[in-house]
Amino acid sequence: MKFYIETFGCKVNAYESNYIKNSLIASGFLFTDKMNEANLIIINTCTVTNTADSKCKKFVRRVRRENKDSILVVVGCSVQNNFAEYQNMDIDILLGNIGKSNIPNLIKEYIETNEKYNYYSQNRDLTFEDMQIDNFDHTRAFIKIQDGCDNFCSYCIIPFMRGKCRSKDFNTIMKEAQELVKSNHHEIVLTGIHTGSYNYEGHDLVDVINELSKIDGLERIRLSSVEITELNDKFMTMLKNNSKFCNHLHIPLQAGSDNTLKKMNRKYDMNYFFDKINTIRSIRPDISITTDIIVGFPEESDEDFNETYVNAQKLKFSKIHVFPYSKRNGTKASMLKEVKDIEKTNRVHKLIELSNQLELEYNHQFNGKEVEVLIEEVKNNISVGHTSNYLKVQIPKKLEKNKLYKVIYNEKENN
């Protein structure tokens, strides 16, 4: 039986889909990257925004319409959030966010019994659902070390979808990393819903990073994202001393106005954010710091947005991921007065323009300098990869995938 997987959303979803794929292959199923060849289709969904939700639902309906005879498995956050709606879509196996590690068994049972399976749980008090992989689809391998969130930012539905914070066994992470390195992965990205909250029997995130750095053959350790409030003195010491930790941090700002940050229920103000960024840059002056910013948050005034714009400019992010506010029913922000769509759109465009400008400025400082690139793709005699500080580099020659090369960075070739 051939199967196909479609993944929406975050790195955690990508990791979970990779686990499902590996498990099915180990169980004798054949993977195909062409949906029309598959008689088993798995869709891992996302609900972080209305747009993500809509895309998932539309995709599921289309897949069922065009693949009437295929077994259809739909799982994840959008299912968790819209369970009743998905129940009306003729899905064979429907699963929220609990039990993904059991999907291969559920599929085998369905093949034997032909009985549909529907399940989701609204319980937040969950244990960590253990998954381990020994090979990853991309050059940079992900390890999911944490799940859930307890922050309850006023705009975010995810704590309700993913449950409370919980963490992976410390020793299991080390074993998984060793297996990934044996499979020729030289960079590992630590990921989770709230990765910085990692805590397992007294081990925190910094302990994970420092222990991973002892593994021979592992050249780079990267974080998918970390909150500014989790960058304590211990983290700063690691940043100073650990050469395997990548010269890149993704730190969500979400808003550059204290007024908006308070309404968002974020746990810092702008003075705190600036102080931490200054400390990071005093340790690693040329570090790439990327961020997420939500624009058009309910009741965001022109003055609030202008503060965000000016502060983002001052912070000199190397890239800003810009998101228009998306109302999520059940959150505190959903009860506030929304900003008009046209205003949101104008603000998005302004911030994207700023991001493009800041990215060019950041990249420019490396022009003509030697950088080390991990090759991720080789096509038509062009090798493409990323540096430790996440510069995307194209090299006009055929190099070996999954290996590190030192080259001179040319901004004209890469912008």
CB-CB neighbours of 238 under 10 Å: 18
Residue 209, domain member (yes or no) = no
CA dihedral 9, 332, 251, 54 (to 10 degrees): 20
Q: Which of 68, 90, 119 is the last residue of a domain?
A: 119
Rounded Cα distance between 135 and 375, Å, is: 17
pLDDT of residue 68: 92
- pLDDT by 10s per residue, the chain, length 415: 999 999 999 999 999 999 999 999 999 999 999 999 999 999 999 999 999 999 999 999 999 999 999 999 999 999 999 999 999 999 999 999 989 999 999 999 999 999 999 998 888 888 899 899 999 988 999 999 999 999 999 999 999 999 999 999 999 999 999 999 999 999 999 999 999 999 999 999 999 999 999 999 999 999 999 999 999 999 999 999 999 999 999 999 999 999 999 999 999 999 999 999 999 999 999 999 999 999 999 999 999 999 999 999 999 999 999 999 999 999 999 999 999 999 999 999 999 999 999 999 999 999 999 999 999 999 988 999 999 999 999 999 999 999 999 999 988 878 6
Question: Domain containing 84 — which CATH number?
Answer: 3.40.50.12160
76, 91, 119 — which closes off a domain? 119
Residue 184: inside a domain: no
In a domain, 205, yes or no: no
The count of structural domains within the chain is 2
Cβ-based neighbours of 46, under 8 Å, separated by 6 or more? 8, 9, 10, 13, 52, 53, 56, 76, 77, 78
Q: What is the DSSP string of 328-395?
A: -TTSGGGGSPPPPHHHHHHHHHHHHHHHHHHHHHHHHTTTTSEEEEEEEEEETTEEEEEETT--EEEE
Report if residue 128 sits inside a domain.
no
Residue 377 lies in a domain: yes
The residue out of 119, 138, 161 marking a domain boundary is 119
CB neighbours (10 Å) of residue 263? Answer: 20
Q: Taking a C-beta distance cutoff of 8 angstroms, is the pair 358, 406 a contact?
A: no
3-state secondary structure of 124: coil
Count CB neighbours of 399 within 10 A: 17
40 occurs within a structural domain = yes
For residue 392, the enclosing domain spans: 370-414
